[in-house]
Amino acid sequence: MPEQNPYEMAKKQLEDAAEIIELDRGIVDYLKVPDRVLQVKVPVRMDDGRIKVFTGYRSQHCGVRGPYKGGIRYHPDVTLEEVIALSMWMTWKCAVVNIPYGGGKGGVACNPKEMSEAELERLTRRYTTAILPLLSPDRDIPAPDVYTNPQTMAWIMDTYSNIMGYAVPGVVTGKPVEIGGSEGRTASTGRGTAIAAREAAEVLGIPIKDASVVIQGFGNVGYYAAKILAEWGAKIVAVSDSKGGIYSEAGLDVDEVAQHKAYTGSVIGFDGVEEITNEELLELECDVLIPAALENVITERNADNVKAKIISEGANGPTTPEADRILEEKGVFVVPDILANAGGVVVSYFEWVQDLNRYFWDEERVNAELEKVLVRSFKEVVSIKKEYENKKITMRDAAMILALKRVVKAFELRGLWPQ
């Protein structure tokens, strides 16, 4: 069976939620299409002197609630459809946690693992210049995503600032703290995923202390989710990366695994554990499963084999609509991506606010404000699920309904202009 097109998947999720609340067809059609999409060529002089041309994208989905917000990813499989879908999910994500942004997303089809840092810098600066007409602190604010990081954001901020003629820290978030980044931003997506898992465990009456946790994807999100859950007393029994996974019934030392990965490039080869595939990892018996890699990893083919009680989606779009229904029937508590991994965009919002005001918070305040926003949003989504209990909706449906209502209300208040 071919992998599901992420844009079709995003539209299906929108259609499902719109049908539940009987949303006007014209508004559904309006929200299925991005406001604008830019595709650019990104020529880069490689270290060996040759010129290589990459393809880049930036999608702005819906700006009725504020500037477009969303990450930039560097990955060989980046496509136009994926970027549009991710920008749509960002619209819902920002609305679910009630921050004043619309959804945006960008990417360059490249393999950063095969590029030097100098090549990545040249790629980033050229891509920034190509999408520059879309960027500004009041228009579109990028952030890190798959295989981009604070250094990438520093290059974007510097390129934009040099063209403007003055420092503009608010044009991106996820920057190093030294040039206007926020304390707590690096860990924020993983922290949010951990908070979502903890809140779900509380609903189900599962103590987070000693809860067994499995994490697919041991990058930034997976590492911090594991680290924070371990600090709360949970037992991390399995983690993985693109090369495979490791399992230990007794639990893993998160920092030791991270050190091993930093030294060897993978979690594989860690002493005293059982090596497993990513597919086997998803089907392990556990209290909490955190898919924190790429989309489409839980599908109708393997959903019935998932034995987790809770899924907290650290990745974007890891579960297909067909899998959602299977998991709901099995009684798995799924905290959807637009809520579970919203910690990153929430702290990005805090960073943007700090940049605009040139007044910066300490990490304790950032984490406290993040906790407040995510716990409130989680309870609002649970409340929506109870409100529509007679329609047997999923948590994803509930999150989408909450987001849709907020976006539609903003659309109705602003009106359609020109007529």
Q: Using alpha carbons only, how large is the chain's radius of gyration in Å?
A: 20
Strands (E), 165-226: 212-216
CA distance 163 to 375: 40
Burial 179-215, CB ≥16 within 10 A → b, else e: bbbbbbbbbbbbbbbbbbbbbbbeeeebebeebbbbb
Q: Which of 11, 69, 93, 105 is catalytic?
A: 105
CB 330 within 8 A of CB 298: no
Q: At 220, give phi and psi (nearest 5°).
A: -60, -50
Tell me, letter by letter, the H, E, C secondary structure of 16-56. Answer: HHHHHCCCCHHHHHHHHCCCEEEEEEEEEECCCCCEEEEEE
Is 105 one of the annotated active-site residues of the chain? yes
CB 312 within 8 A of CB 340: yes
Q: Are strands 68-75 and 102-109 parallel, antiparallel or unpaired?
A: parallel
Concatenated DSSP letters of 369-401: HHHHHHHHHHHHHHHHHHHTGGGT--HHHHHHH
CA distance 415 to 412: 5
| Among the listed residues 360, 410, 352, the one whose alpha carbon sits nearest the alpha carbon of residue 136 | 352
CB 296 within 8 A of CB 278: no
Active site residues: 105
